[in-house]
Structure 1
């Protein structure tokens, strides 16, 4: 068998402001001979996620930064091509945190087998994976929505936000979304069942938001920060809860992110804001995944995927996250399986 050559995507610059194509480099590699316990994986789908932008900075955070001139890593769905591990066989579909590469060599530790009969395999990178679990734990553990309350979610048409609003509805709350286009507003209301949605790019956003929230805000699931969150903070009810999931509006800011101070709003309303990352809930992943799976199979959860075709288009798919080009989960399709029947 001739050696397999493939490409990886390396980070070669730490971007200031919005990343560009120049920050990424496609590097050709050759698959080495498998050693004992190793598995050769062919990448089928890559996940691109906003948190990866933070890992491009050399700064202390909850997860180590990407290293320059090394492959970027993230959520990957792959097919086992060859295996020297008793845990996996040729044709198995797995997911794990792997390199942005057309192939990977991995150990069994850290890989999870995916059963294609339960749901489309891509759901393991979205609604039944890290993004679905982020929505589940952030909303239910920190937000604690009650029947009749109002839940507001920013970035509502994204992978996490779209699930947050639907879970809020399942708990009997009113769901109000904030998104960046009229098409997304229509999707939130008419496809996902949000009670209302507001386009933050309109000049009338602040007024539109207030009109959509006559009863104020009991839970604000914050994915974006910035001016959008400043507007929501003015409408908090007493004892509001704010799960702080992301701040995508500032991820590419060249300077410090400045804005109104929120302390007074929190004090006046006795509100609670808590930041979190999904790793906080690692011990409960199985519980969350089980309930999400039950809702999905019962038709109580809908999901959308924006899939870019071609490994060579991975950087553009990543940059699209910050331009609002995706609805639901952003994925890159790299290849079809060689052996698995999906």
Structure 2
């Protein structure tokens, strides 16, 4: 910053790609960098909150991904953020709240066409990156579009204390599921699922194998919302009823070395199970319906919106690494400015 006019900002850069895919603090660096000029079709945004997402781990590598891009060495990271416009134009005025994809920095020059104006509607701003943002929308689309949720379904959700999973389990209950089961890592998170988030049963995958836990709490499931793959997916395949369904949302277990064989997919043939992968951006036609429903649930006190918030750009990497180690409940965020 110089002479009262903003010319620079602080941002998190990818200093070097992680060795063996395991990110460490030394792979990142907070630097002062130029904001750059603001064209007529752009706005300058002061970021208030930025999202920290599990998918970022895959973007640290170089493998081709069909729905996003890899981070570039010696360049700033990016991701969802929400902030206030400090220099606007005739399309988005100063003072408006916008959601965009240039997080991991205090100030961002954003193309108008890449910014979505958010009217908070009485809800804390950070929830528009969580239960009212992509994590919540992912849960909603996964249940209804990919999972074909039906009234009376028994639903199993993995990573159920995370941003997507905690929303998916609660949404399933509110949308008519007869019973909702979740898995989480550690006794505190498992207890949170049943005592605060309204799950009917919980599995602590750190204290027992997922397959054993699922047998213990369920005679059979109709829909599995998969955030992790691996042993969770295998356990679900064996516990799904005839014509069961799987909504494939994430596969974080695929980044490790302990990958189970695909032979278990025989269960999908024997039980006529449907496995459907989905990318949330393909379902924007549901956005308004989703927001109205979630706002109604929040207003009625029927939905718990959990967040874990770190503060300051200097703590953004710490938040990311903590999330990868299970150090969050609900949505992991960093408060900026």
Please, what TM-score do these two structures have when normalized by structure 1? 0.91
Q: Among residues 13, 21, 40, which one is paired with 1:17 in the alignment?
A: 21
Q: Aligned equivalents of 2:93 and 2:281: distance in 1?
A: 29
Instruction: Using the TM superposition, name which of 190-199 and 222-231 deviates more.
Output: 222-231
Q: What is the match of residue 275 of structure 2?
A: 273
Work out the CA distance in 1 between the residues paired with 2:36 and 2:145. Answer: 45
- 1:243 has 2:251 as partner: no
Runs of 4 or more consecutive aligned structure 1 residues displaced over 6 Å after TM superposition: none
Secondary structure class of the residue paired with 2:282: helix
CA RMSD of aligned residues (A): 1.8
> Which residue of 79, 82, 88 maps to 2:87?
82
Taking the aligned partners of 2:259 and 2:61, their CA distance within structure 1 comes to 16
User: Which residue matches 1:314?
Assistant: 316
1:234 match: secondary structure:
helix
Query: Cα distance, 1:204 vs. partner?
Result: 5.6
**1:205-262 deviation digits (Å, cap 9, x = unpaired):** 4333211012x111000001122222222211100100000012233x2x58343523
Partner-residue secondary structure (3-state), 2:22: coil
The answer as to whether partners of 1:45 and 1:333 remain within 8 angstroms in 2 is yes
Residue 160 of structure 1 aligns to a residue in which SS? helix
Check whether the contact 1:71–1:99 (CA below 8 A) recurs between aligned residues.
no
Partner residue in 1 for 2:152: 148
Aligned partner of 2:32 in structure 1 is 28
In terms of mean alpha carbon deviation, does 312-321 or 14-23 score higher? 14-23
Query: Hey, what's the Cα distance between the residues in 2 that align with 1:64 and 1:17?
Result: 16
Matched residues, number: 331
Q: Which moved more, 1:68-77 or 1:151-160?
A: 68-77
Structure 1: stretches of 5+ with no match in the other structure: 336-342
Counterpart of 1:72 in structure 2 is 77
Q: Name the residue aligned to 2:122.
A: 118
CA distance in 2, matches of 1:317, 1:290: 30
Quote the Cα distance in structure 2 between the aligned partners of 1:210 and 1:241.
18
1:42 to 39, 43, 46: 46
Deviations 1:97-154 (A, max 9, x none): 1142111112221212222343111111011110111000101112222233210000
Ranges in structure 2 where 5+ consecutive residues have no aligned partner: none
Contact residue 115 and residue 121 of structure 1 kept, 8 A: no
